[in-house]
Chain A
Amino acid sequence: DAGVIQSPRHEVTEMGQEVTLRCKPISGHDYLFWYRQTMMRGLELLIYFNNNVPIDDSGMPEDRFSAKMPNASFSTLKIQPSEPRDSAVYFCATQGWRSSSYNEQFFGPGTRLTVL
């Protein structure tokens, strides 16, 4: 398995633009998590899904952020409109309760977002 795949790896955009981050989970994993990492706040959980259904989105900072998981193979995190304070590294992680690595979260390489 290729692991958790995230795209793009780097994104530079201007304030006010829409940004879409993508994640392909490990096949068979039924939990998917979106995290944001900044120097000031560390690693924050934004939202997580179970079987494509959002379970807890209490970490989503505001309405400008939205996440979807239309199927078991794909998730997106969208920021519209983007602001400079959204600059961070965004990680996707997945977890499979029925896998041999029970309870372990596998992280993607992250997307480094810079909003100018």
Chain B
Amino acid sequence: AQSVTQPDIHITVSEGASLELRCNYSYGATPYLFWYVQSPGQGLQLLLKYFSGDTLVQGIKGFEAEFKRSQSSFNLRKPSVHWSDAAEYFCAVAGNGNQFYFGTGTSLTVIP
């Protein structure tokens, strides 16, 4: 069965520091992978997605993620975090393309 694990419930980083949010998935075939961001009181916004091809995908707001099949991972990265990046981040996997399975989310705090 498909599933997503986000091992870090909460991460705190300093503004300007680099960021990596972990995501591990379980799926038998090639998955469709997504990262969403949720700001307080808002819905989820897509940051980036991976379907096939280049394993390093670029998204909005300076985020990128790398698909590593051997590790069943799809970690999200940003070289320099801004205070406005403080939010909840969700990784998701879609098997047959329509039903998504979301991780439990990672809450990011950015300190000045």
Say if the beta carbon of B53 comes within 8 Å of chain A: no
Q: Chain A CB within 10 Å — which of B46, B49, B98, B104 has the most? A: B98
- Contact check, A108 vs B43: say whether CB atoms are below 8 A apart: yes
- Contact check, B104 vs A103: say whether CB atoms are below 8 A apart: no
* Chain A residue with the shortest CB-CB distance to B36: A107
Known: A43-B90, A105-B100. A110 touches B43 (CB 8 A): yes
Instruction: Count chain B residues whose beta carbon lies closer than 8 angstroms to a beta carbon of A.
Output: 20
User: Which residues does chain A contribute within 8 Å of B105, judged by CB atoms?
Assistant: 42-43
- Contact check, A107 vs B44: say whether CB atoms are below 8 A apart: yes
Instruction: Count chain A residues whose beta carbon lies closer than 8 angstroms to a beta carbon of B.
Output: 21
**In the bound complex, what is the Cα–Cα distance between A103 and B100 (angstroms)?**
10
- Contact check, A109 vs B100: say whether CB atoms are below 8 A apart: no
**In the bound complex, what is the Cα–Cα distance between A42 and B103 (angstroms)?**
8
- Contact check, A109 vs B90: say whether CB atoms are below 8 A apart: no
User: Which residues does chain A contribute within 8 Å of B36, judged by CB atoms?
Assistant: 107
- Contact check, B43 vs A48: say whether CB atoms are below 8 A apart: no
Measured CB to CB, the closest approach of chain A to B51, in angstroms, equals 7
Q: Which of A29-75 contact B (CB under 8 A)?
A: 31, 33, 42-43, 45, 48, 50, 56
Say if the beta carbon of A104 comes within 8 Å of chain B: yes
User: Which residues does chain A contribute within 8 Å of B103, judged by CB atoms?
Assistant: 42
User: Which residues does chain A contribute within 8 Å of B97, judged by CB atoms?
Assistant: 97, 103
* Chain B residue with the shortest CB-CB distance to A9: B41
- Contact check, B32 vs A103: say whether CB atoms are below 8 A apart: yes
- Contact check, A48 vs B98: say whether CB atoms are below 8 A apart: yes
A 1-36 binary contact with B (CB < 8 Å = 1; else 0) = 000100000000000000000000000000101000
- The interface of chain A, by Cβ under 8 A from chain B, is 4, 31, 33, 42-43, 45, 48, 50, 56, 91, 93, 95, 97, 103-110
16 contacts between A and B (CB under 8 A): A31-B98, A42-B102, A42-B103, A43-B90, A50-B98, A56-B99, A91-B43, A97-B97, A103-B49, A103-B98, A104-B34, A105-B34, A107-B36, A107-B44, A107-B45, A110-B42
- The interface of chain B, by Cβ under 8 A from chain A, is 32, 34, 36, 42-46, 49, 51, 90, 94, 97-100, 102-105
